[in-house]
Amino acid sequence: MDQEKIRQAVSLLIEGIGEDGSREGLRETPERIARMYEEICGGYAQSPEEVLSKTFTVEHNEPVIVRDITFYSLCEHHMLPFFGKVHIAYIPNGKVVGLSKLARCVEVYARRLQIQENMTGQIADAIMEVLKPQGVMVVVEAEHLCMSMRGVQKPGSRTETYAVRGVFEQQPGMQNRFLQLLTKM
Ligand code: ZN
């Protein structure tokens, strides 16, 4: 990540808004924001292989459901936050991954400039490719500050997106059953 470019861009943005970048409260803002992006866009420096490669063998392929993984991302159209919960269900194929690793896989994709639909699909694809389960289903529910703060201004409205792969895609009955489990609260 090019911190110097981010600093310059933020200085220009402050100037463009018509603010005085030299006043006390703003003087260190470009530097602070450059450091912040290192963290909130840190997903570019990570890969799902890194976080999902440590697996455990299982004898029975019972479904695994992880609900309420909190995430924060930035919408690529406005660079404003969207945030909420990710719910994941998968049917293993002899291998499972530590539950915290699924949360880290979410971060790999959330900490980038995103749209919610793509993030949902990317999480599902990463789990399919690295863990190779029989199927995976990902549900994301989020509030978008670009909708709450500006434009249509609908605070509190939530957007839900879904991605289904493998057996969940092939068997609509199973898809419906797990959709109920993942969105029951
Ligand atoms: Zn937006």
The three-state (H, E, C) secondary structure of 128-156, written as one string:
HHHHCCCEEEEEEEEEEHHHHCCCCCCCC
In a domain, 156, yes or no: yes
- pLDDT tens across 127-173, in order? 999 999 999 999 999 999 998 888 777 777 899 999 999 999 999 89
Q: How far apart are alpha carbons 185 and 180 in whole angstroms? A: 9
Please tell me which residue in 75, 87, 107, 114 is annotated as part of the active site.
Answer: 75
**Range(s) of the domain holding residue 16:** 3-40
In this structure, are 57 and 30 located in the same domain? no
Distance 56 CA to ligand 1 centre (A): 39
Least Cα distance to 119 among 145, 83, 78 occurs for 83
Measured CA to CA in angstroms, residue 145 lies from 88, 103, 112, 137 at distances of: 24, 22, 16, 26
pLDDT tens digits along 13-38? 999 999 999 999 999 999 999 999 99
Domain count within the chain: 2
State whether the Cα torsion 49-51-56-59 is positive or negative. negative
63 lies in a domain?
A: yes
Examine the residue annotation and report whether 87 is marked as an active-site residue of this protein.
Answer: no
pLDDT of residue 68: 95
For residues 84 and 170, membership in a common domain is answered with yes
Residues 29 and 103 placed together within one structural domain of the fold:
no
Could you tell me if 62 and 28 lie in one domain? no
Residue 139 one-letter amino acid: V
Q: Residue 164: inside a domain, yes or no?
A: yes
pTM across the whole model: 0.93
Give me 127's structure tokens.
């789990």
